[in-house]
Amino acid sequence: MEIILQLFNGTIGIALLYFGAEWLVKGSASLAKKAGISSLVIGLTLVAFATSAPELVVSVNAALDGSPGISLGNVVGSNICNIALILGLSACITPLAVQKQLFKSDGIVMCASAILLAVFYLVNNSLERWHGIIFLFGIIVYTWYLIYSSRKENSQKTEEEETSEKSCSIIQSLVWVILGFTALIFGAKLLLWSSVYFARLMQISESVVGLTIVAVGTSLPELATSVVSAIKGEKDIAVGNVVGSNIFNILCILGITPVITPLKNAQITPVDMGSMIGISLLLLLFMRTGWKISRKEGVFMLLLYAAYTAWLIIDHA
């Protein structure tokens, strides 16, 4: 009976994370437009950050509950999943266009963040409060730069373009944001309880659960956003959403979480960190080849994700 209950908790938790992120995206994007921030930057910041909100809530809850493996594994696994699985699948649907700006600035920041995380963690097998402070400073500077650039670009818009944009009222937007955060909090709790239960039942390390089940579960908003964007022809959003989410995962989530409670002995291996860095650099290479991610490159990334998941299962069998 306990197993059935925990399966139910996990399923409801994932559903709440998915819908919570959707509501949060809807409300925050509307508020951002009213503040005069361009759609491109909304995709790179608010949409990307909002779809990463499940990772934030799960990682903070896991750290507070004494599960650093799930907390850190969730971020590392989500970054691998976002690129290899989500962008791989999206590129298989349709080749994804890449803006040069995305490659030159955001792509570089994403890879640099991944490398910095690996160095910080592998040196002392922990993330301390001062590591978190550095990451938080990084996300503040990055977000300020994007908003500053957006306002310069937005000032060149014509009055006709401004009036053509439709969004919810401020009250409606705030309601969606509140509903979204509420669903994320409860969804994260349910998914965390269910994941820890099955990890202990099957004698699987918490880090593996964080790298796989929790990572995929909390990446559902990114999956939905990128795949739907690819189908609808919004190819820039598909790539920008993933790049922005990966930056947010490291600089914000692993900025906030260690400041609250340091992450020690999370059992994340050099192979896991190396996989995150390798797939990030590979994405940067694919972005540069013809300024698009082709179907062949998408298939290759999917195969890489399958190989990494298989290694995790075999190595911890």
Q: Give the mean model confidence (pLDDT) for residues 234-245.
A: 78
pLDDT value of position 214: 83
Residue 148 has pLDDT above 80, yes or no: no
pLDDT value of position 166: 54
252-270 pLDDT per residue, tens: 999 999 999 999 988 899 9
45-66 pLDDT per residue, tens: 666 677 777 788 889 888 888 8
Between the alpha carbon of residue 195 and those of residues 118, 198, 202, 250, the distances in Å are: 25, 5, 11, 22
- Cβ–Cβ under 8 Å, residues 86 and 227: yes
Confidence band, pLDDT 50/70/90 cuts, at residue 36: low
67-86 pLDDT per residue, tens: 888 899 999 999 999 999 99
Q: How buried is 181 (Cβ within 10 angstroms: 0-12 exposed, 13-18 middle, 19+ buried)?
A: middle
- Cβ–Cβ under 8 Å, residues 168 and 31: no
Provide the percentage of residues in the chain whose pLDDT is more than 90. Answer: 36
- Cβ–Cβ under 8 Å, residues 283 and 84: no
pTM of the predicted model over 0.85: no
Q: List alpha helices for the chain, DSSP H.
A: 2-34, 39-42, 48-51, 53-64, 68-80, 88-93, 100-101, 108-124, 129-154, 159-164, 170-201, 206-209, 215-218, 220-231, 235-248, 254-260, 270-288, 295-315
197-210 pLDDT per residue, tens: 887 787 778 788 88
The residue ranking higher by pLDDT, 22 or 317, is: 22
